[in-house]
Chain A
Amino acid sequence: MVGASSSSASTPGGHSSGGHSSGGGSSAGQNSSADGTPTFEASSSPRSITPTTVKDLRDAVTTNGPVLIRGTGTATTWGAPVRDARTTVSLAGMDRVLDYRPADMTVHVQGGIRLDVLQEELAEHGQWLPYDPARSEATIGGLLATGDAGPRRMAYGSLRELVIGATMVFPDGAIAKSGGHVIKNVAGYDLAKLCHGSLGTLGVVVELVLRVHPLPQASRTVMARDVDTATAQRLTWALTKSAVEPTAVEWCEPEQVLAVRFDGTADGAAARAASARSMLTGSLAELDAGEAHSFWESHAARVVAEPGDTVLRAATRPGVDPALVGALSAWADRAGVKALLTCSPATGAYTVRITGADAKAHAEVVKNWRASVEAVGGFVMLRRRRPGVDAMVESWGRAPGSVEVMRRVKANFDPENRFAPGRFAPWF
């Protein structure tokens, strides 16, 4: 059943969670983003298709022009703007749990299921996917394609570590799977990893099998204020080398707050939080459950920007580099913008939200700070941008050494460049 209409909200046979609102304000033909992406909607005959079966999805992607795959639309601006995608294929109609085996701690889902919906279902069995990206309303397929990760990655890994099987539809209509339902499996190549970070350019992840974990009994958060960059790095090393086993360490600038999270048994998490307090410096607070919940909610919201903001993601080797943080604030000051930084020092991930001033100022900060990050072996990509920024700065920086292999992969799977064309421009 293919609904080829411009509004594609709920679907028959779908998991009626009531939370699916991908239809509202996000359908093709309507440029919903004020973030300046010259989007696919600009093409002459925009069309949105919401298939409900793999077969219909295959028909949709093979018989229509350049295709943009869409989950809940939380990351349509990540990477470079897509050119000429005349068809949006929405996964909103493929959002079910197909097979949940709590005793095996595996769950088989369709790619269009939202992470928060899945987490609710798992929680009923005392389980969860130990994965906490800021966009909890995003779909699992979309989260794999964007390679997104949250603060707890340092302890539990990213989605690439949690996907044990996947079924994909490739641009030529081939439906292929890799992996399976068992948590330990080395048979064949891992196509799910290939799709990690592919931003919809290789295939549609229509089904995934995930390894789930027991929900921790308790979670504790300790916060230290007035922690400067060098101290944040030193404390991170001290925490990760100690027996306190934090599951997240996050540092924010300009607030200079270091937040440390512990998951475990009720007594254990409390004991480890207490030990951590003795190691931390600055003004300390242990948050109660409610405070912790709202802290982490607002922490996630920091990186999800308002229209008109520019958001960058940078990755470097682990640490929070005082020189990089200093460079960012210097470039931001010079350009007259505000830069809000969130860093996961244990994994070297930085998210920066730029607000204020104009596109030229945003582009200047991107260009200059990217040079600093690339000089230490890292990279910076654009997740969203203020209108006009694209004309002044590329979404991707220096091409990785392996870009030629990526081009060949792309050419072998999508020789006509039909899936999200332009997403990795200027690389391919």
Chain B
Amino acid sequence: MDAQAAADRRRKLDAVLADLRRECGPSLRVLAVAAERRAYETDALTSHRVLPGLVLLPADRSQVAPIVRACLRHGVPYVARGAGTGLSGGALPTESGVVIALAKLNRILDVDPDRMVAVVEPGATNLSISAAVAGYGLYYAPDPSSQVVCTIGGNVAENSGGAHCLKYGFTSHHVLAVETVLPDGSTVVLGSDDIEAPCYDAPGYDLRGVFVGAEGTCGVATRIAVRLLRKPEVVRTLVADFPDVPSACETVSAVIAAGIVPAAIEMMDNLAIRACEDAVHAGYDREAAASLIIELDGPGEECAELFEQVSALCSEHACTRLRIAADDAERAAIWAGRKAAFAAMGRLSPEFLLQDGVVPRTRLAEALAGIADLSSAAGLRVANVFHAGDGNLHPLVLYRESDGEGPAAEALAAAIAELCVALGGSLSGEHGIGVDKACSMPKMFSPADLTAMDRLRAAFDPSGLCNPNKVFPTPALCGEARGGAYQPHPLEETGKIQRW
């Protein structure tokens, strides 16, 4: 970087800091030393790293607006960050920019068990919401696999899903209102005005709907009102093994065709089954070509009736073994195996790339055959573990960096994402576009589509300082060499989080 430009950026950051010391006082924690800032240079897309110029940890949500205003005043880009578990680089800092780390704003502020609403701070973890309301027989439905540590603010930014969104929908369906510091420094509630008494309806444009899933580009959430659901009366879970992948795919279609909406339908291919079984000993059949985990929940009698139907459909589709969880412990073991899938890949390969493409459910078999073809053409193995019910694939491209396979793996991963789009699907089902897939956006959206989206972004952020260079392809982003090896997030290595 040009020395003059560097000095200029430094000066701006100093000005931001001076303003904030005055406005927020000593309770605003500031990480200015490089070694401290280093911890914030990446999220869970560890192949991208940018050292931020300044990391600020508000002690109180009232400090967020002064931070945004100071950044605006001095022209400094900023990004809000929760636990840093995002898989698409959505929380990647800008060089010499500010990171607003919201981890301290982690309180559950209010629970209204009658109205089934909770108001929480953005740094509250996903699971802490369910934990806080469990005593009322309620829970917060979206369940990304990192829910032990990922924050609701990050979930809002990414419109996170999880294994059960086939039936229960995404973050967007469960957020009633978001108090937001807009990029102009003002604080408003998107959704109905009173965040403490959130309404389902709000007049005018659905800005809350736009904000959820905008990947942090439209402002910084400071309070979030979420809907809670009543815990289902009954949950039933089975594992069905199949002699080949198409049979498993046909079973998924048959269940859906029978008019059943399971809480979750997950699928694993043989490579994934073996890795998971070796890692967790969940009782999977290592010889099965494919396995489905199907979970139903709801009122007792109906759940039992539909579960019978699902079991019968599995048998009709060449299922070689049907294992029904006898109790909660067995169900937990089945899910533990599934959730360990990504961590277990280390047994198969030192490195892997994770994709998040989606295809229409009826094209799953075609997509998997296409992935197998691409995989053999590239001479690299691909393991498949995915949300079959909604067609959300998570192919894992296995490779060895030390053998120089990195570029081929990158090319294969990109080809798989493009295959999903070509089959009428999407680049991302739940991980977001971030920096990771921004350069692929033109494969899915026309210039007119992207222009319309950018127009919307500009209505929220005319300054372009709020989490810049995300979602949309830019020359700066897409001209550069991309990618690199998957490296596990530190929390993943310690077993605190899993990836799906």
Interface of A toward B, CB cutoff 8 Å: 101-106, 126, 147, 153, 157, 160-161, 168, 170, 174-178, 180-191, 193-198, 202, 213-215, 217, 237, 240-245, 264-265, 267-268, 271-272, 315-319, 347-349, 376-379, 381, 396, 400-406, 408-409, 411-413, 424, 427
Is A182 a contact partner of B391 (Cβ separation < 8 A)?
yes
Residue pair A377, B193 in contact (C-beta under 8 Å): yes
Cross-chain contact of A403 among B117, B201, B204 (Cβ < 8 A): B204
CA of A90 to CA of B457 in the docked complex: distance in angstroms? 30
Tell me the smallest distance from the CB of B460 to a CB of chain A, in Å.
6
Q: Could you say which residues of chain A place their CB within 8 Å of the CB of B362? A: 101, 103-104
B387 within 8 A of A: yes
User: In the assembly, what is the distance between CA of A138 and CA of B294, in Å?
Assistant: 38
Chain A residues, Cβ within 8 Å of B161 = 184, 186
**Are A409 and B426 in contact, with the CB atoms below 8 A?**
no
Q: Contact check, B261 vs A214: say whether CB atoms are below 8 A apart.
A: yes
Q: Which residue of A lies closest to B234 (CB)?
A: A243
A106, A180, A194: which contacts B206 (Cβ < 8 A)? A194
Closest CB-CB distance, B365 to chain A, in whole Å? 12
Q: Of residues A102, A175, A184, which shows the largest number of chain B Cβ atoms within 10 Å of its Cβ? A: A184
Contact of A188 among B158, B301, B424, B453 (CB under 8 A): B453
Name which of B57-65, B145-153, B444-452 contacts chain A: B444-452
Whether A240 pairs with B200 at a CB distance below 8 angstroms is no
Sample of 7 further A-B pairs with CB below 8 A, known A188-B441, A188-B453: A168-B452, A175-B448, A183-B390, A186-B161, A194-B210, A196-B205, A381-B203
The prevalent SS among residues of A at the interface is: loop
Which of the residues A147, A187, A268 comes within 8 Å of B201, measured between beta carbons? A147
CB-contact partner of B444 in A180, A191, A408, A427, under 8 A: A180
- B363: nearest residue on chain A (CB-CB)? A104
Query: Are A272 and B299 also in contact (CB < 8 A) when A187-B441, A194-B205, A400-B203 are?
Result: yes
Whole-angstrom CA separation of A160 from B205 in the bound complex: 12
Interface contact A105-B429, CB-CB below 8 Å? no
A-B contact count (CB 8 A): 272
User: Do B189 and A402 touch across chains, with their CB atoms under 8 A apart?
Assistant: yes
Contact at B117–A244, with CB atoms within 8 Å? no
A-B pairs with lowest CB-CB distance, top 7 = A193-B209, A214-B259, A377-B194, A268-B302, A315-B201, A176-B452, A408-B459
User: What does the 1/0 interface line of B220-260 toward A look like (CB < 8 Å)?
Assistant: 00000000001001000000000000000000010011111
Q: Which residues of B contact A105 (CB under 8 A)?
A: 256, 361
Is B197's beta carbon under 8 Å from chain A?
Answer: yes
Please give, as numbers and ranges, the residues of chain B lying within 8 Å of A198 by CB-CB distance: 204-205
Nearest-neighbor residue (CB-CB) of B298 within chain A:
A245
User: What are some 11 contacts across the A-B interface (CB < 8 A)?
Assistant: A101-B360, A147-B201, A161-B169, A186-B158, A186-B428, A186-B432, A191-B452, A196-B209, A400-B203, A408-B459, A409-B205
Cα distance, A60 to B233, chains bound together (Å): 54
Give the residues in chain B near A187, CB-CB below 8 Å: 426-428, 433, 437, 441, 444-445
| Closest chain B CB from A295 CB (angstroms) | 23
Alpha-carbon separation in the docked complex, A184 to B169 (Å): 9
B137 nearest CB across to chain A (Å): 7
On whether the beta carbons of B456 and A402 are closer than 8 Å, the reply is: no
Q: Closest residue of chain A to B201, judged by CB?
A: A315
